[in-house]
Amino acid sequence: MPELPEVEVVRAGLEPAVAGALVTAVEVFDQRSLKRHSALEGSFVDLLEGRRILAAARRGKFLWFPLSDAGGRAQALVTHLGMSGQVLLRTPGVEEGGLLRIRLHIEHPEHGEFWVNFVDQRIFGSMAVDSLVPTSDGHAGGYFGSAAAGAPARDSVSASATWTGPADARSADDWRMRVPSQVAHIARDPLDPAFDERRFFAALARRRTGLKRALLDQTLISGIGNIYADESLWAARLHYEYPTDRLARARARELLAEVRHVLEKALAEGGTSFDAQYVNVNGASGYFSHSLNAYGQQGKSCSRCGTPIVREAFMNRSSHLCPRCQRLPRAPRAESV
């Protein structure tokens, strides 16, 4: 269940090995992993072989790797991990399991040769070569770590100083000011300095749905999945079906603050792992599963009030909450105006 923290751990781990590396060969073992690659763009393999990877970028749960210019085309390798995707950095020659879908052979001028193995059990993830289009708000396309202009080369995960600066600092054809076309409709994530809070609050108030559906809507706010939605709602003491249009602005601010806190804490702990489904680029697991307060905690005592956490069916999946801390507003219109 890779969400923003897990995807960022992958991005940060990949960056040193892929930024500046030449793609020497590409092997596709399962065409289904290319389902988001448009044939109109050209052949996936041909588009990659001989190109150089410029950086490792992320917005929400989407990863992309801007490619060196080829015939004036601004393109990137786009990767989504889906439910069970992994991008593993391997030493050439070492066998991978039967779930290997795509392999890139890369050669870095300083670090040498690697295999970038895209492993994906459920094939909800994908790789694609996609065109880069200018961002609609004039800000950087996403988070680039140390590739951000003028940023220090280290501490790429946590330092906000490594985000790219104002739009006028670069020309519009700079890949930093662009985003893959298939990511353009995805909202900025809450850790992005260009995340528009006013717009988010306004959109939330306009919605006529439950809070969790809104948090999971990647066109409203990106990077949040089932785990961090449940954790954020627990932290903010809000029920997952709390009507978005009845949430006071102050409570919405609290919720956004909890979302950020949960995501940052998970990032600091290397992401959440329950099994081998999510690992970093070296195949290691994160530690955030030890910090969960709601997700997967059904039957255990709420760490705030002691009431057993319950699990309820929600959108063909599940929601975990404390029935005492997280209640729906009692009477309709009780908190309106």
Partner DNA sequence: CTTTCGCCCTGAGTGC
Partner DNA sequence: TGCACTCAGGGCGAAA
Task: Give me the residues that bind DNA (CB under 7 A), please.
Answer: 1, 3, 32, 36, 60-62, 80, 82-83, 98-99, 121-124, 182, 185-186, 206-210, 213, 216, 218, 225-227, 275, 315-318
Q: How far apart are CA 79 and CA 85, in angstroms?
A: 9
β-bridge pairing 112-120 and 126-134:
unpaired
CB of 322 to DNA, least distance (A): 17
Non-local (6+) Cβ contacts of 225 within 8 A are 1, 2, 3, 61, 216
Q: Exposed, middle or buried by CB within 10 Å (0-12, 13-18, 19+), for 133?
A: middle
Q: Whats the size of the chain, residue-wise?
A: 337
Instruction: Single out the catalytic residue among 51, 52, 59, 61.
Output: 61
Encoded tokens for 248: 């006071």
Kind plus residue range of the DSSP H or E element containing 78:
strand 75-80
53 DSSP assignment:
B
Q: In the annotation, is 176 catalytic?
A: no
Q: In the annotation, is 6 catalytic?
A: no
Instruction: Single out the catalytic residue among 2, 16, 180, 190.
Output: 2
Taking the least distance from each CB to DNA, the nearer of 168 and 275 is: 275
Quick one: how many helices (H) and strands (E) in the chain? Answer: 6, 11
Taking the least distance from each CB to DNA, the nearer of 43 and 209 is: 209
CA atoms in the 13 A half-sphere facing the CB of 206: 7
Q: In the annotation, is 2 catalytic?
A: yes
The closest alpha carbon to 135, from 103, 162, 101, 170, belongs to 170
Taking the least distance from each CB to DNA, the nearer of 30 and 155 is: 30
Q: How far apart are CA 313 and CA 316, in angstroms?
A: 7
CB of 311 to DNA, least distance (A): 7
Taking the least distance from each CB to DNA, the nearer of 37 and 52 is: 37
Q: In the annotation, is 212 catalytic?
A: no
CB of 270 to DNA, least distance (A): 18
Three-class DSSP category at 213? helix
Taking the least distance from each CB to DNA, the nearer of 171 and 219 is: 219
CB of 110 to DNA, least distance (A): 32
Q: How far apart are CA 29 and CA 273, in angstroms?
A: 26
Instruction: Single out the catalytic residue among 198, 206, 208, 317.
Output: 317
CB of 171 to DNA, least distance (A): 28
Fill in the amino acid letter for 86. Q
CA atoms in the 13 A half-sphere facing the CB of 14: 30
CA atoms in the 13 A half-sphere facing the CB of 158: 9
Taking the least distance from each CB to DNA, the nearer of 114 and 278 is: 278
Active-site annotation, residues: 2-3, 61, 317
